[in-house]
């Protein structure tokens, strides 16, 4: 019997497979399809202080081996998430979850994280400084070392929960941003969020996405994400949650060899709601095939 469990900061996970924020709602929506307790954890829909309707439609553009989204952080706001969404999820999911906190100003991130800190069910905060679909805040915090440092440091002061910072690949040097977050007190790094992209409708000769640009994700970005996880692993001494185009158990193993302690699955959930279940079921077989007994032994093994 192979051992798929991993340690992610203070969280012990049965397996490293976690649905990525924004691709799995608040989790309970999937409980009617299968027993979601098989998941390592769940990263909840990106949450802001105020409720948000999100960007105008169309918000999605299909691409070869991926898609572009410009959802714009649609969510019911932190208070609703704490009062309604998390209790609903707790009815069908027994493990700690990851709160993905987004914002437009440091005080907003701080307020949301302080509220999340008081919720037992939240085992980890994923500070999202990488959303490419909002005009201020979001990704702009993740493209300079100073702003990444400032927001991480401010949030660190209001929570003792494990704090992972989710980074954008649209930064000049993601490894330097990761190091700045570590210096500010982050317990880990999540990467990568989506790559900025666009499509043009040949018939109308106008951008497909109402907001013009959006975040590109899916299997096409996997080699880019892998390269960035590899680089960040060499730049920091804190654990990494790797993501970006992961769609098979083999991808999970490759991501862990690059340096990830756990792996998030994003766009694959939009194509197939059973994607995480299939990957979790495949993982032991893939490990046996590759002669891996303990999954945690391979973290960073490619370095």
- Residues forming the active site: 131
Distance CA 240, CA 259 (A): 7
Q: At what angle do helices 106-117 and 145-156 cross, to 10 degrees?
A: 30
Give 6 or 171: the residue with its C-beta nearer to ligand SIN: 171
- Tell me if residue 220 falls in helix, strand or coil: helix
Report in angstroms how near the CB of residue 300 gets to ligand SIN at its nearest.
26
Return the half-sphere exposure (C-beta side, CA atoms, 13 A cut-off) of residue 302: 15
As a whole number of Å, the end-to-end CA separation of the chain is 27
Report in angstroms how near the CB of residue 268 gets to ligand SIN at its nearest.
16
Give 6 or 191: the residue with its C-beta nearer to ligand SIN: 191
Determine contact, residues 6/261, Cβ cutoff 8 Å.
Answer: yes
Report in angstroms how near the CB of residue 168 gets to ligand SIN at its nearest.
8
Report in angstroms how near the CB of residue 216 gets to ligand SIN at its nearest.
10
Report in angstroms how near the CB of residue 22 gets to ligand SIN at its nearest.
5
Give 41 or 130: the residue with its C-beta nearer to ligand SIN: 130
Distance CA 168, CA 191 (A): 7
Distance CA 9, CA 161 (A): 10
Residues that bind ligand SIN (CB under 6 A): 22, 46, 69, 71-73, 128, 130-131, 133, 193-194, 215
Determine contact, residues 117/160, Cβ cutoff 8 Å.
Answer: yes
Report in angstroms how near the CB of residue 284 gets to ligand SIN at its nearest.
31
The residue among 39, 45, 49 whose CA lies nearest residue 15 is 39
Give 41 or 69: the residue with its C-beta nearer to ligand SIN: 69
Determine contact, residues 169/195, Cβ cutoff 8 Å.
Answer: yes
Alpha helices in 219-264 (DSSP H): 222-235, 249-258
Determine contact, residues 21/44, Cβ cutoff 8 Å.
Answer: yes
Give 249 or 268: the residue with its C-beta nearer to ligand SIN: 268
Give 18 or 283: the residue with its C-beta nearer to ligand SIN: 18
> Could you tell me the strand order of the sheet in which 214-217 lies?
60-63, 66-69, 214-217, 195-197
Distance CA 152, CA 187 (A): 10
């Amino acid at each position: 019997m192979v051992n798929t469990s991993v340690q992610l900061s203070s969280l012990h996970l049965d397996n490293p497979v976690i649905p990525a924020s924004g691709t799995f709602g608040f989790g309970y929506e999937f409980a009617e399809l299968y027993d979601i307790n098989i998941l390592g954890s769940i990263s909840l829909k990106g949450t802001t202080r105020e409720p948000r309707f999100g960007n105008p439609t169309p918000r999605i553009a299909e691409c070869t081996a991926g898609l572009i989204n410009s959802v714009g952080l649609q969510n019911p706001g932190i208070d609703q998430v704490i009062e309604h969404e998390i209790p609903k999820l707790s009815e069908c999911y027994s493990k700690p979850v990851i709160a993905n906190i987004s914002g437009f100003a440091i005080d907003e991130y701080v307020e949301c994280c302080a509220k999340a800190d008081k919720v037992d069910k939240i085992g980890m905060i994923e500070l999202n400084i990488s959303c490419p679909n909002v005009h201020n805040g979001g990704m702009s915090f993740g493209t300079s070392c100073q702003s990444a440092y400032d927001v991480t440091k401010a949030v660190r002061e209001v929570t003792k929960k494990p704090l992972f910072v989710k980074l954008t690949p649209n930064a000049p040097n993601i490894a330097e941003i990761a190091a700045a977050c570590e210096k500010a007190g982050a317990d880990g790094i999540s990467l990568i969020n989506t790559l900025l992209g666009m499509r043009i409708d040949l018939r109308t000769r106008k951008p497909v996405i109402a907001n013009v640009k959006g975040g590109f994700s899916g299997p096409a970005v996997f080699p880019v994400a892998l390269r960035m996880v590899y680089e960040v692993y060499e730049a920091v001494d804190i654990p990494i949650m790797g993501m970006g185009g992961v769609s098979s158990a083999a991808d999970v193993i490759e991501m862990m060899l690059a340096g990830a302690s756990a792996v998030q699955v994003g766009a694959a959930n939009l194509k197939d709601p059973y994607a995480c279940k299939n990957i979790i079921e495949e993982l032991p077989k893939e490990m046996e095939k590759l002669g891996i007994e303990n999954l945690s032994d391979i973290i960073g093994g490619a370095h």
